[in-house]
Every structure is written in C-alpha cells, then in structure tokens.
C-alpha cells in the first residue's frame, strides 16, 4: 500500500521525468544533426559563395581530402624557369619542383652539389645557368608510359636532360655541339630507343658565323636523335646522330607508333626562308615566315637513318655525328608533304595511323594518313623542293581536314575516338571526331564542340594521351594568359592550367579547376597514371649516391667521422641524424681546399636534413640515406655557423656546428 505523501511524490517524480524525456527527445535530433554537420550546412556555404550545381560537381571531381592520393601525375615543363613541375590530378596540387637547367637551393641543386650535372650543360666552357624547358617526354615501353625516366629539352641552348623518376632528380644534361637551339624536343620512340630533339631556328652548322644574306646556302636546320641506354639510365652521345635539314624552322616532332613505328614527323613554319630585318626595311619575321600558303611536313625514316649512321654515313661536326643533307636526300631519309600555312603541332594518333597538324594560321587541322604516305613514297615522288628533298602531293597523303577554329595548335587524344585541338586565337579547345575505324567512324571527321578556356591555350595534355592507349577523362589546357582569373599580383601574371572533364560524350565538357602557375611557364605536359610511378620513399640503403644510384664506398658511417689534412687539402667526413651533425667543430685554415662529404644516416620517411655554410654560398638537401660531397676553397678566415636548413626535429635549431677557419 502506498501512502498519500509517497504517491504524490511518485507522481511528481514521474512528471518531471516525463518532461525531461520529452525535452531530450526534442533537443536530441538538433544536437545530433549539429554534431554530424547538417545537410543544409554545405548547401548554405555554396549559396553564400555563389556556387552553382555545376561548380559543386567540379568541386566533387577535384577536391581531394587530406590523406587521399591523386590518380594521375602531370609532368609539366617550366618554360623559362628551366625546371619541371609534377602536379597531381585531379586535385591540381603541386607536388614537386624538379630542378633541371636552373640551380635551385631548396633541393640542393647548384649550391655545392649538382655542379657536375649543371656543368654538362655548359657550352664551350660558358656557364649557362638557366634553360627554356618546353616538352617533357616520359619514357615508353611498347608505346605506353613506364614511369622510369623523364626527358626535357632546353629551347634556348639546344640541350636535353634526363630525369630519374626513382628520386625525381636530374642525372644528365647533353648538348649537340652542331646546333644551338631546339623546339621539337623531347619526344621518344615507342621503346625509348631514341629521344628526339628537333631544332628550331635555322643556324649555320655549329652556330659558326655566316652572314644572314647567305641564309639559304649557309644556314641549316637539324634534328637530333639521342640514343638512350636504359641500363645506365643515360643518353649515349657516341651512339647518337643528327640529320641536317633545310633551314625551314622545324617546329614540333612526334614519333610514329604501331603501324608508323620507325618514322618521325616534324612540322615546319618558315619554308619561305624569310630572314627578317625589319630595321632594314624588310618584312619582319612574322610577316615573312607566314607569307606562303604552305610549309612542309617533314617525314623522316628513322630506321633507315639509323642504318645510314651505323654504315658510316655521318660526318663529324664539332665532335658530333651529323648526316649531311645531301646524304639524307640520297638515302631517301626525308620526304616533305605540304601543310597549310605555318602550322604548329604534329601529333600521331594512338594507333599510329594518322598524323595531325594544327594549322595555327590556317583554321583547319590537317590529317595525314601514314598508309597513304607510304604509298606515295613507294610510287616515287616527282616534285622536290629547292634542296632536292622529294615532296609528296598533298591530295595523295591527306586523309581529312576539319575546320576547328582560329589558331589551331596542338592535338591530344582520348579513349572515345575524340581528338582535342587547342585554339589559341579563339581561346578555346575544340573537340572533333576521328572518323576512322577504331575511333568514331559513326561521327566522321567533324567538329563536335568547342569549350572556351581562359585564356589563349597553347598545348594541352591528356591523361596517358601520347600513348597507344589514352585514358580519356581529363584534358588539361595550358593557357598562356590568365588576365582576370586570379587576384592581381603585379604586372607579371601567372599562367593558368585548366583541368577539363572530358569523360562525357558530345558537347559535354566542363572546366573543373583553374591552377595558377608562377615561377614557370608550362609549355607542354604529359599525364601518367600514378600507379605506374615507383618513386622511392627513402634512398634504398644508407650511404646512397644518387648519381650512381648505388651505395657509395666513400659514404660516411657513424663512428668514422672526422677532419683530416694532407697539406692544404682538408677532407671533412660528416654524418647527419636527428638532431646533430658529427663533427660539430670543423677546424681548418684559410687557403685550404676542402672536400666535404655528408651522409644522412636516417631511414625514416621525410627525415631530410639541409646543410648551409654562410658566406660560402653552400646549401644542400640531403635525403634519408643519401651521401653528398662538395668542395670549396676556404678563402675567408673566421667563424662560420653551419646548420641544418630543412626543419627536421624538435631540436632542429640545435642541429648546427662551427666551421673555424684560422687566419694565416
């Protein structure tokens, strides 16, 4: 039996509890939702920022949360920055700068270490400390990117560099002493037997002196075939050779693949052989070179050229093997086909059957058939140019023409049978269909759609686009001008790389990301599937020499550090580990020639140590396991506080030492 008082207490308690439960039930969903982040939250943000559904789609395609990795890596040239950029797709995040022709202290290139590579690019003893990088080429096996090597050329000085993709560092620079500029480089043959470097502006051979009035007789063009040795990972200049060409300003090249393997194609744009001289009353180059209605597509039989070289048909020009133009013509190594008016861009389709030329000053892309070219050559061409090079008739080799717009430059390909050509003057990208078997015969050769880009697109890159099997999905427009796309940062504006979603057919293309590029002007890029790359996380063993890509017997082990003297030559042997360098006192005398080796004995990822010596212009970046050696003259006495320049640990500030240079 419950008493009156007790039952009313119970009633009260029950009522309070019921109210509490009801209150909790009402509040809870709100709290729960807030903790989760309500559905309405991101929509509110989108509204406030003025984002459309299309914008959100672009964001969903490109936003890559922390910890998620990109699907592709785009290697873009740095233009007059002289370096290469590695950019992740679809996030468009800059992953890495690779110094090539230009010294760069963050990665320790050219400030104590790296000189032996930079020096390979000096010409006739002259220090050249920048380059104009244009077209990177990934090494290929059977026409597919294999992720092992990257090649890049320097237009300004006619040099080619080799980058090792195990550690993303430049290992070699070569220069053809017979020529002093390039543009049609670098492009690789389907198994990277050769790295193609086409020259650009006509020069006397070896850049010797010849009056401009003698242009036609004394100036030449050139295309160099650099032999690549995959075992050593180096270009072998002894096995390399060049062809002398007419001074027609060869432009871009591409290697044939599959059916056209063994042939190389280059466009040219000054067959008029205009020599400018606006100050003398002559038409300037821009007018003179554009005057003619056609220029010449160069069709080069690389297999036959290789045979001629190996049979001894080359002559020595400044120590390099050059096959002279007469020999080229005699041995049927070179054929011309007309191409409309100062074209740019020569691109071979994935199956190798067609060669696409961008008209530049002509609004068409002109498509040549390799089979028809072979037939025309076999039939025996009757026309020649002024030098005697056989010229094939345009109608006999042309497969189709598609009018795409103003200023067609470069063409890339996808996996749906579409081709994409950049339109510089229209500031757009044209998608057109390749109307042949294996592509889009149902659409024929026709323009499908154009998408405006911002602004003035030069090259484009497509995912795996230069291979025998492009991936489609993404195309990047490498726009030269950004104008109003970004906040103003002064009169020097960045370039704008725009990621375009091309996964949907027809006219459905969408720009999904704008990436400003500063410090570089990417001219061209190649995009490789990320899982094809096998970059190291640390160097494989302690004491690793990145040049030889093996353990260096001269590396320093812990316990063997020290400073030793032999007359005026001092050897410093040092190790670096968190958070000290050993030794911490380096005592030398003024006038000493110092050879200093440092080995980073770390094994953990990202445990890089920097190293700088004040006054002596030394800065290194030593990755885990790496060993480096640098030399200098101790010309100034005093005390110099060397220290680790790459933040490495809680005691990074304490990671330093004193170099004490005693005066005489």
Partner 1 sequence: MFTKAISRPDSVTADRAQATASRRWWFWLPTVFLLGAAGLLVASTNLPYWGMVLEAPQYPGGLEMRVFVNTITGDEDPTLDEVREIDGLNHYIGMKSLYDAAAFERSIAIPAIVVMVGLLIVAAFWRRRWTWLLTIPALTFPFVFLGDLAFWMNHYGQNLDPYAPLSSAIQPFTPPIFGEGVIGQFKTVASVHTGWYLAVAGSLLIVAAVIIRLIDQRSQSKA
Q: Kindly state the smallest distance separating residue 580's Cβ from partner 1, in Å.
A: 10
* Residue closest to 621 by CA, chosen among 655, 555, 576: 576
Longest Cα–Cα distance of the chain, Å, equals: 126
**Chain centre distance of CA 273:** 31
Q: Kindly state the smallest distance separating residue 95's Cβ from partner 1, in Å.
A: 18
| Span interacting with partner 1, options 5-13, 217-225, 271-279, 600-608, rule CB under 8 A | 600-608
| Span interacting with partner 1, options 51-59, 484-492, 521-529, 537-545, rule CB under 8 A | 537-545
Question: Which residues does 473 contact at the CB level (< 8 Å), separation at least 6?
Answer: 414, 463, 501, 502, 503
Q: Quick one: 375 or 537, whose CB is closer to partner 1?
A: 537
Count of helices and strands (H, E) across the chain: 10, 44
* Residue closest to 655 by CA, chosen among 608, 595, 606: 608
What stretch of H or E contains 371?
helix 370-379
**Chain centre distance of CA 82:** 10
- Is 584 a binder of partner 1 (CB under 8 A)? no
List 173, 499, 577, 618, residue binding partner 1 (CB under 8 A): 577
Evaluate the omega torsion of the peptide bond into residue 455 and state whether it is cis, within 30 degrees of 0.
yes
- Which of positions 330-349 make contact with partner 1 (CB under 8 A)? none
What stretch of H or E contains 564?
strand 562-566
Q: Kindly state the smallest distance separating residue 537's Cβ from partner 1, in Å.
A: 7
Q: Kindly state the smallest distance separating residue 176's Cβ from partner 1, in Å.
A: 40
Alpha carbon distance 484, 654 (integer Å) = 46
List 25, 650, 663, 664, residue binding partner 1 (CB under 8 A): 650
**Residue 271 buriedness (CB in 10 A; 0-12 / 13-18 / 19+):** buried
Q: Quick one: 236 or 537, whose CB is closer to partner 1?
A: 537
Q: Quick one: 115 or 603, whose CB is closer to partner 1?
A: 603
Q: What is the DSSP string of 505-531?
A: STT--EEEEEEEE-S-----EEEEEGG
> ∠ CA 277-280-281 to the nearest 5 degrees?
95
x-marked contacts with partner 1 along 171-200 as a string, rule CB under 8 A: ------------------------------
Q: Kindly state the smallest distance separating residue 649's Cβ from partner 1, in Å.
A: 8
| Span interacting with partner 1, options 30-38, 200-208, 233-241, 599-607, rule CB under 8 A | 599-607
Q: Are 252 and 196 in contact (CB under 8 A)?
A: no
Q: Kindly state the smallest distance separating residue 166's Cβ from partner 1, in Å.
A: 14
Q: Are 339 and 357 in contact (CB under 8 A)?
A: yes
> ∠ CA 456-460-462 to the nearest 5 degrees?
150
| Span interacting with partner 1, options 37-45, 304-312, 317-325, 536-544, rule CB under 8 A | 536-544
Alpha carbon distance 504, 448 (integer Å) = 12
- Is 69 a binder of partner 1 (CB under 8 A)? no
Q: Are 182 and 173 in contact (CB under 8 A)?
A: no
Q: Quick one: 66 or 442, whose CB is closer to partner 1?
A: 66
Q: Binding-site residue total for partner 1 (CB under 8 A)?
A: 10
Phi, psi of 204 (to 5 degrees): -65, 150
Q: Quick one: 507 or 654, whose CB is closer to partner 1?
A: 654
Residues facing residue 662 across a β-bridge: 589
In this structure, what token pair is assigned to residue 19?
């109210």
Alpha carbon distance 644, 576 (integer Å) = 9
| Span interacting with partner 1, options 11-19, 218-226, 342-350, 532-540, rule CB under 8 A | 532-540
List 116, 216, 507, 537, residue binding partner 1 (CB under 8 A): 537
| Span interacting with partner 1, options 394-402, 453-461, 466-474, 602-610, rule CB under 8 A | 602-610
Q: Quick one: 8 or 534, whose CB is closer to partner 1?
A: 534
Q: Quick one: 66 or 382, whose CB is closer to partner 1?
A: 66
- DSSP H helical ranges for 51-90: 53-62
Q: Quick one: 346 or 648, whose CB is closer to partner 1?
A: 648
Q: Quick one: 386 or 650, whose CB is closer to partner 1?
A: 650
- Is 604 a binder of partner 1 (CB under 8 A)? yes
Q: Quick one: 93 or 605, whose CB is closer to partner 1?
A: 605
Mode of pairing for the β-strands spanning 418-423 and 408-413: antiparallel
- Is 605 a binder of partner 1 (CB under 8 A)? yes
- Is 652 a binder of partner 1 (CB under 8 A)? no
What stretch of H or E contains 289?
none
Q: Quick one: 214 or 584, whose CB is closer to partner 1?
A: 584
Residues facing residue 368 across a β-bridge: 355, 398
How many C-beta atoms lie closer than 10 Å to residue 206's C-beta? 17
**Chain centre distance of CA 326:** 35
* Residue closest to 588 by CA, chosen among 644, 636, 554, 655: 636
List 96, 578, 593, 662, residue binding partner 1 (CB under 8 A): 578
Q: Kindly state the smallest distance separating residue 629's Cβ from partner 1, in Å.
A: 24
| Span interacting with partner 1, options 120-128, 139-147, 351-359, 603-611, rule CB under 8 A | 603-611
Q: Quick one: 21 or 651, whose CB is closer to partner 1?
A: 651
List 115, 593, 603, 662, residue binding partner 1 (CB under 8 A): 603
Q: Kindly state the smallest distance separating residue 578's Cβ from partner 1, in Å.
A: 6
Q: Kindly state the smallest distance separating residue 407's Cβ from partner 1, in Å.
A: 48
- Is 378 a binder of partner 1 (CB under 8 A)? no
| Span interacting with partner 1, options 6-14, 157-165, 304-312, 534-542, rule CB under 8 A | 534-542
Q: Kindly state the smallest distance separating residue 336's Cβ from partner 1, in Å.
A: 55
Q: Quick one: 30 or 540, whose CB is closer to partner 1?
A: 540
CA torsion angle 227 249 482 57 (round to 10):
-50
Q: Quick one: 26 or 604, whose CB is closer to partner 1?
A: 604
Q: Quick one: 116 or 541, whose CB is closer to partner 1?
A: 541
List 297, 357, 460, 538, residue binding partner 1 (CB under 8 A): 538
| Span interacting with partner 1, options 253-261, 318-326, 504-512, 533-541, rule CB under 8 A | 533-541
Q: How many residues does the chain have?
A: 664
Q: Are 35 and 50 in contact (CB under 8 A)?
A: no
- Is 653 a binder of partner 1 (CB under 8 A)? no
Alpha carbon distance 273, 197 (integer Å) = 21
List 19, 95, 129, 651, residue binding partner 1 (CB under 8 A): 651
The residues of the shown chain that bind partner 1, judged by CB under 8 A, are 537-538, 540, 577-578, 603-605, 650-651
């Amino acid at each position: 039996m419950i008493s009156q008082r007790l039952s009313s207490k119970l009633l009260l308690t029950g009522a309070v509890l019921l109210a509490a439960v009801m209150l909790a039930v009402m509040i809870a969903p709100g709290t729960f939702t807030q903790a989760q982040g309500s559905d309405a939250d991101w929509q509110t943000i989108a509204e406030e920022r003025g984002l459309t559904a299309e914008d959100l789609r672009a964001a969903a395609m490109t936003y890559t949360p922390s910890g998620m990795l990109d699907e592709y890596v785009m290697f873009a040239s740095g233009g007059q920055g002289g370096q290469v950029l590695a950019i992740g797709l679809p996030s468009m995040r800059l992953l890495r700068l690779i110094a090539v022709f230009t010294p760069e202290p963050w990665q320790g290139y050219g400030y104590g270490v790296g000189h032996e590579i930079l020096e390979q690019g000096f010409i006739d003893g002259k220090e050249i400390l920048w380059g104009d990088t244009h077209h990177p080429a990934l090494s290929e096996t059977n026409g597919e990117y294999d992720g092992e090597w990257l090649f890049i050329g320097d237009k300004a000085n006619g040099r080619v560099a080799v980058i090792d993709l195990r550690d993303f560092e430049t290992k070699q620079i070569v220069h053809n002493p017979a020529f002093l500029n390039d543009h049609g480089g670098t492009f690789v043959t389907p198994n990277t037997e050769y790295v193609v470097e086409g020259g650009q502006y006509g020069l006397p051979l070896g850049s010797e002196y010849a009056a401009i009035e003698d242009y036609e007789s004394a100036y030449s063009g050139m295309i160099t075939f650099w032999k690549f040795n995959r075992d050593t990972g180096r270009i072998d200049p002894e096995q390399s050779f060049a062809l002398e060409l007419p001074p027609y300003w060869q432009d871009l090249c591409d290697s044939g693949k599959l059916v056209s393997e063994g042939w190389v194609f280059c466009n040219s744009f000054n067959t008029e052989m205009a020599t400018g001289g606006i100050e003398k009353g002559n038409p300037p180059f821009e007018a003179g070179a554009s005057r003619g209605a056609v220029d010449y597509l160069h069709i080069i039989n690389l297999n036959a050229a290789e045979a001629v070289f190996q049979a001894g048909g080359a002559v020595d020009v400044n120590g390099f093997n050059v096959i002279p133009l007469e020999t080229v013509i005699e041995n049927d190594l070179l054929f011309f086909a007309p191409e409309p008016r100062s074209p740019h861009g020569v691109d071979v389709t994935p199956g190798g059957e067609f060669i696409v030329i961008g008209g530049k000053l002509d609004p068409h892309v002109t498509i040549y058939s390799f089979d028809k070219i072979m037939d025309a050559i076999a039939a025996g061409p009757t026309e020649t140019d002024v030098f005697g090079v056989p010229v094939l008739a345009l109608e006999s080799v042309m497969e189709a023409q598609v009018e795409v717009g103003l200023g067609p430059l470069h063409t890339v390909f996808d996996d749906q049978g579409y081709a994409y050509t950049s339109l510089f003057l229209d500031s757009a990208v044209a998608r057109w269909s390749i109307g042949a078997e294996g592509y889009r015969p149902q659409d024929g050769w026709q323009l499908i759609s154009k998408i405006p880009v911002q602004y003035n697109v030069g090259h484009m890159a497509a995912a795996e686009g230069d291979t025998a099997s492009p991936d489609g999905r993404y195309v990047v427009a490498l726009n030269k001008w950004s104008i109003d796309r970004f906040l103003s940062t002064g009169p020097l504006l960045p370039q704008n790389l725009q990621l375009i979603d091309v996964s949907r057919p027809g006219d459905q293309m969408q720009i999904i990301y704008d990436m400003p590029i500063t410090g570089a002007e990417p001219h061209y890029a190649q995009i490789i599937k990320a899982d094809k790359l096998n970059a190291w996380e640390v160097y494989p063993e302690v004491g690793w020499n990145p040049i030889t890509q093996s353990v260096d017997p001269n590396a320093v082990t812990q316990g063997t550090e020290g400073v030793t003297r032999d007359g005026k030559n001092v050897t410093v042997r040092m190790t670096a580990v968190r958070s000290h360098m050993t030794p911490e006192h380096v005592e030398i005398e003024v006038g000493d020639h110092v050879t200093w080796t440092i080995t980073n004995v770390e094994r953990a990822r990202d445990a890089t140590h920097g190293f700088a010596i004040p006054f002596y212009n030394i800065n290194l970046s030593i990755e885990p396991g790496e060993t480096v050696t640098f030399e200098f003259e101790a010309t100034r006495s005093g005390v110099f506080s060397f220290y680790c320049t790459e933040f490495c640990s809680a005691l990074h500030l304490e990671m330093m030492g004193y170099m004490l240079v005693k005066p005489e």
